[in-house]
Amino acid sequence: MIEGQANNRWGLTLTTHISILSPTAILGYGFPEASFREGLSRRPSAIAVDAGSTDPGPYYLGAGQSFTDRDAVKRDLALMIEAGLDLSIPVLIGTAGGSGAARHLRWCLDIVQDVLLDLNRSAHVAHIAADQSVEEVTRALAEGRISQLGPVKPLTERDIIDSTCIVAQMGVEPVIGALNQRADIIVTGRCYDPAVFAAVPIRAGYPEALALHMGKILECAAIAAVPGSGADCMLGTLDHDGFVLEALNPDRHCTVTSVAAHTLYEKADPRYLPGPGGVLDLTSCRFEQIDQRRVRVTGTGLNPSERYTVKLEGAKPVGFRTIAIAGIRAPDLISQLDQVLEDVRRTVFQNFQSIDEADVSVIFRCYGRDAVMGELEPLRDLDPHEIGLIIEVVAATQALADTICSFARSTLLHFGYPGRQSTAGNLAFPYSPSDISHGVVYEFSLYHLMTVDDPVSRFPITVDLMGVRR
């Protein structure tokens, strides 16, 4: 709540400061009710939560599935929605269902409806679509309005057509549009992570740069505290000159180091944070320890972009995966493992000569040596005493992936090599059956920027009365 001013429906009339409550880093990760109640006691002007990420990879976007559990999401939403309705403050959910496409949005809205029915309440619920049509993206490509984002391949029309889902990352403008329609609950498709936290302060007249920077930290909730946790609450309080961050669990506290470190989180350049419509300039930021639990941040700037761009994300199927997991503890094999694995790979394709190597991938991941960093691993030459091996095969069909993985696994199990001392088997399997059919494999087909004339028109807003009909 904003001090020194009678509260309107949203508590948005500006006087001195405004607070936003972030319950958890990802909707469905959970949070202690005691921390949440402490946050509510501060009378925040909104409850906001990020519900998605590209961190789990392209599968969830391509398959239209959530990477969070439905029951866990419903538990979090039940607490948030009841509190929002009781306090007459908006509840904002960014990137519904994890990836923010139409199927994810419907999935989250179904949960919202269930919660409202359980609470015997009704609410005006806005949902903001982020899906982009093949025709629109193809036209943008032809008009030169799509550019690469980082070290990705130039986009082709084939990439667009093959994508099962294409979403664009909306900024704060569509969220503010939904607030202007007096929605009690806002559920967005794919959304710039800070946007649902920054929209209420920006709409109320607070500096956009500070609101977005605060949102950048709040979207991960108490990860920016010590000890950090993605399953605990954080409060951000913004005024005209800066903002204050406070962990709401008495066992956690914010420090200059923890908050500054999270400001640097997930950025290619520590000085700048690009987003829809502009780039946050962090070169003049100052972090001040107010007391043992709170940190104040000032000095954030914003450089508006000449052209408004939104990030496109798309996923397409590239085959089917089968894996086998095994352990290796034979020093004589570990010392020459690269050569043995290459010999096994060659044997696979010699046995299935009708298969083009370009159509089947056989991958060996050696955990305990270099599976995490690959060629960048600085300790790769050290000899581990054991290795966890994942045999991975990606092929055009599940049956073919199963066949090739089975053959690669059995070949390695009994493969002879110089100095071999045990002939019983080279691999120890923790599971039976050893081979796991993993299903469809997706890859990001779009990870590009698209220039748009209007930051709102590509993200249609719909408001419905949901819950109990009275």
Same domain, 194 and 50: yes
Question: Is the pLDDT at 2 greater than 60, yes or no?
Answer: no
Per-residue pLDDT band for 380 (boundaries 50, 70, 90) equals confident
pLDDT of residue 13: 52
Q: Indicate the range of 5-14, 189-198, 296-305 predicted with least confidence.
A: 5-14
Residue 338 CB contacts under 8 Å (≥ 6 apart), including other chains: none
Q: What is the rounded end-to-end Cα distance, in angstroms, of the chain?
A: 29
Q: Is residue 397 part of a domain?
A: yes
Q: How far apart are CA 361 and CA 396, in angstroms?
A: 10
CA nearest neighbour of 94 among 169, 179, 184: 169
Position with higher pLDDT, 2 vs 273: 273
Beta strands 272-275 and 278-281 are: antiparallel
Question: Is the pLDDT at 345 greater than 60, yes or no?
Answer: yes
Residue type, 403: T
Mean pLDDT of 263-280: 89
Q: Is residue 148 part of a domain?
A: no
Same domain, 225 and 298: yes
Q: What is the pTM of this model?
A: 0.92
Same domain, 352 and 226: no
Same domain, 395 and 284: no
Query: HEC states along 206-274?
Result: CCHHHHHHHHHHHCCHHHHCECCCCCCCEEEEECCCEEEEEECCCCCECCHHHHHHHHCCCCCCCCEEE
Mean pLDDT of 55-83: 97
Angle (CA) 160 396 163, round 5°: 15
Same domain, 24 and 112: yes
Cis ω for the linkage preceding 201 (within 30 of 0): no
pLDDT of residue 150: 83
Residue-wise pLDDT for 301-324, tens only, equals 999 999 999 999 999 999 999 999
Q: Which residues pair with 133 in a beta bridge?
A: none
Residue-wise pLDDT for 237-263, tens only, equals 999 999 999 999 999 999 999 999 999
pLDDT of residue 15: 59
Same domain, 184 and 242: yes
Contact 36, 233 (CB under 8 A): yes
Mean pLDDT of 337-366: 94
Q: How far apart are CA 183 and CA 205, in angstroms?
A: 19
Same domain, 72 and 212: yes
Question: Is the pLDDT at 7 greater than 60, yes or no?
Answer: no
Same domain, 304 and 320: no
pLDDT of residue 3: 43
Position with higher pLDDT, 2 vs 306: 306
Beta strands 185-188 and 387-395 are: unpaired
Q: How far apart are CA 298 and CA 285, in angstroms?
A: 6
Contact 30, 49 (CB under 8 A): no
Same domain, 338 and 274: no
Classify 48 as helix, strand or coil.
strand
Q: Is residue 135 part of a domain?
A: no
Residue-wise pLDDT for 403-433, tens only, equals 999 999 999 999 999 999 878 899 999 999 9
Q: Torsions phi, psi of 235, nearest 5?
A: -115, 135
CA nearest neighbour of 20 among 225, 243, 176: 243
Residue-wise pLDDT for 196-246, tens only, equals 999 999 999 999 999 999 999 999 999 999 999 999 999 999 999 999 999
Same domain, 289 and 323: no
Quote the mean pLDDT of the chain: 94
**CA atoms within 13 A of residue 342's CA, in its CB half-sphere:** 4
DSSP-derived secondary structure for 402-429 = HHHHHHHHHHHHT---TT----S-S-B-
Same domain, 329 and 360: yes
Q: What is the span of the domain harbouring residue 286?
A: 18-130+169-308+452-467
CA nearest neighbour of 387 among 322, 335, 323: 335
Same domain, 180 and 104: yes
Domain count, the chain: 2
Q: How far apart are CA 333 and CA 347, in angstroms?
A: 17
Question: Is the pLDDT at 57 greater than 60, yes or no?
Answer: yes
Contact 441, 332 (CB under 8 A): no
Q: Percent of the chain at pLDDT above 90?
A: 89
Residue-wise pLDDT for 18-37, tens only, equals 999 999 999 999 999 999 99
Q: Is residue 146 part of a domain?
A: no
Q: Is residue 414 part of a domain?
A: yes
Q: Percent of the chain at pLDDT above 70?
A: 97
pLDDT of residue 233: 98
Per-residue pLDDT band for 123 (boundaries 50, 70, 90) equals very high
Question: Is the pLDDT at 87 greater than 50, yes or no?
Answer: yes
